[in-house]
C-alpha cells in the first residue's frame, strides 16, 4: 500500500470504503506534527479494528485566503517550499520500514482556486491523489464553466472534487444558503466531477453549538446525483450527526479545525500546570503576580529541558491530535 496516486486506484479506495459503509476521513495539515499525528492515529485505529490497510486522506490548501496551509507549512511563507516539504514529509514517513506502510494514503489538494493557484495548477497533477477545484467564489455559470474545463483537461490524471456552493466562514462576508438539489444536479452533470462539495449547513471553523447540519439536504441531493458528496467544515458538527453521514450520501469529510482547536487547549493546560518547569520559578512567580497563573500552577520547580523545548510542545500537540484523529476514525469507520 502506501501513497496511492493512480486515479483508478484512488477511485477503488472510495468504492471499497463505500462497500464497508465508511465515509472517507480527510484531515488537513499545515505542519509535520499534524501530518504525523494523522498517520499515527490512523495506524492505531487500523490495528484496533484489524484492518491494516485503512484508508486515510491527508490534504492541505495552497493559497486559499481563509487558510493558506502550504504557505503556513514553513516560516518562509513560500507555498512552493511548503508544498514540496509536505510531499517530502509524507514520502519519508511512508518510506521503507515505515510503521505506516500498510495504510492507504491519499494526498489531497484542498480548495485550489483557479484565480490564485494558477502556478500550482501547472504542476503535474499526477503527484496528488485528488484535488478540490474550487471556483465557488464565482457566479454559478462561471463556476461550472471553469470546473468543466479543468475536468476536461485533467480527468485522466486525478480524482476531482468540484465545489458547487461556497462554504460559509465566520469571518467571511458571504453567508451562503445550503445547496439546492437542482443546483447540485446541474453542477454535477455539466462539470463531470467525481465528487461534489456542497454547502450542507456546516461552516469552516465554527462552534458546534451554533450550527445545524441539514441531513435532508444531502439526502435530496444524493437522490439526484448518487452518493458522491464531500462535507467540509466537519469540525463543526456533533459526533452523533457523523454516524448519519454515510446514509445521507456523504462519501468523504474534511476535518482540520478540531485538530488545532482541541490540541491548543491540551497544550495550554499542560503549560499552565507545569509553568515553573517551562520558565523557572522566578518567571513563574512573576506570572502568578501578574494574575496569569492560578494556585494549581507549579511555581517552584526548576526549569527543565523536558519542558522548555519545542519538542515538549510538539509532543503534547501530537498526542492530542493523534487522539482526535483516532476518535473521528472510530466514528467514520464503523
- Site for Zn ion, rule CB under 5 A: 232
**Rounded distance between C-alpha atoms, residue 245 and residue 237, angstroms:** 11
Q: Which residue lies nearest Zn ion, judged by its C-beta?
A: 232
* Min dist. Cβ of residue 145 to Zn ion (A): 22
* Min dist. Cβ of residue 167 to Zn ion (A): 5
* Cell, residue 150: 479543468
* Min dist. Cβ of residue 236 to Zn ion (A): 11
* Min dist. Cβ of residue 70 to Zn ion (A): 14
Helix 310-332, helix 257-273: angle, nearest 10: 140
Q: DSSP code of 203?
A: B
* Min dist. Cβ of residue 160 to Zn ion (A): 15
Choice between 100 and 256, CB closer to Zn ion: 256
* Min dist. Cβ of residue 209 to Zn ion (A): 20
Choice between 228 and 232, CB closer to Zn ion: 232
* Min dist. Cβ of residue 197 to Zn ion (A): 7
33-57: b (≥16 Cβ within 10 Å) or e:
bbbbbbbbbbbbbbeeeeeeebbbb
Beta strands in the chain (DSSP E): 2-3, 24-28, 55-61, 104-112, 130-133, 159-163, 195-197, 229-231, 250-255
**Rounded distance between C-alpha atoms, residue 256 and residue 11, angstroms:** 23
Task: Name all contacts of 209-216 with Cβ < 8 Å and 24+ positions apart.
Answer: 211/236, 211/237, 213/237, 213/238, 213/241, 214/178, 215/241, 215/244, 215/248
Choice between 108 and 232, CB closer to Zn ion: 232
Choice between 12 and 115, CB closer to Zn ion: 115
Helix, strand, coil distribution of the chain in percent, nearest 5: 50, 15, 40
**Rounded distance between C-alpha atoms, residue 236 and residue 204, angstroms:** 7
Choice between 54 and 198, CB closer to Zn ion: 198
Choice between 202 and 274, CB closer to Zn ion: 202
Choice between 227 and 233, CB closer to Zn ion: 233
Amino acid at each position: 500500500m502506501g501513497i496511492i496516486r493512480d486515479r483508478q486506484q484512488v477511485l477503488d479506495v472510495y468504492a471499497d470504503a463505500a462497500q464497508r459503509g465508511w465515509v472517507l476521513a480527510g484531515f488537513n495539515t499545515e505542519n509535520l506534527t499534524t501530518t504525523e499525528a494523522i498517520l499515527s492515529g490512523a495506524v492505531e485505529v487500523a490495528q484496533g479494528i484489524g484492518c491494516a490497510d485503512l484508508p486515510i486522506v491527508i490534504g492541505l490548501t495552497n493559497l486559499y485566503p481563509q487558510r493558506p496551509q502550504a504557505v503556513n507549512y514553513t516560516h518562509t511563507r513560500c507555498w512552493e517550499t511548503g508544498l514540496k516539504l509536505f510531499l517530502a514529509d509524507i514520502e519519508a514517513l511512508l518510506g521503507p520500514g515505515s510503521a505506516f506502510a500498510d495504510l492507504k494514503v491519499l494526498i489531497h489538494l484542498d480548495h485550489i482556486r483557479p484565480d490564485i493557484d494558477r502556478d500550482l495548477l501547472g504542476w503535474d497533477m499526477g503527484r496528488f491523489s485528488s484535488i478540490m477545484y474550487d471556483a465557488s467564489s464565482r457566479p454559478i455559470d462561471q463556476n461550472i464553466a471553469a470546473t468543466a474545463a479543468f475536468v476536461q483537461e485533467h480527468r485522466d490524471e486525478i480524482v476531482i472534487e468540484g465545489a458547487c456552493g461556497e462554504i460559509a466562514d465566520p469571518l467571511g462576508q458571504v453567508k451562503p444558503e445550503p445547496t439546492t438539489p437542482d443546483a447540485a444536479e446541474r453542477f454535477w452533470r455539466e462539470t463531470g466531477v467525481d465528487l461534489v462539495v456542497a454547502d450542507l449547513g456546516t461552516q469552516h471553523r465554527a462552534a458546534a453549538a451554533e450550527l445545524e447540519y441539514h441531513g435532508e439536504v444531502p439526502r435530496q441531493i444524493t437522490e439526484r446525483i448518487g452518493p458522491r458528496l464531500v462535507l467540509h467544515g466537519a469540525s463543526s458538527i456533533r459526533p452523533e450527526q457523523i454516524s448519519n453521514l454515510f446514509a445521507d450520501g456523504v462519501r468523504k469529510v474534511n476535518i482540520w479545525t478540531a485538530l488545532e482547536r482541541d490540541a491548543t487547549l491540551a497544550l495550554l493546560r499542560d503549560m499552565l500546570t507545569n509553568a515553573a518547569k517551562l520558565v523557572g520559578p522566578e518567571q513563574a512567580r512573576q506570572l502568578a503576580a501578574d494574575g496569569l497563573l492560578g494556585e494549581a500552577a507549579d511555581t517552584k520547580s526548576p526549569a527543565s529541558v523536558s519542558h522548555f523545548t519545542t519538542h515538549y510542545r510538539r509532543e503534547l500537540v501530537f498526542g492530542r491530535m493523534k487522539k482526535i484523529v483516532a476518535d473521528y476514525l472510530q466514528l467514520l469507520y464503523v
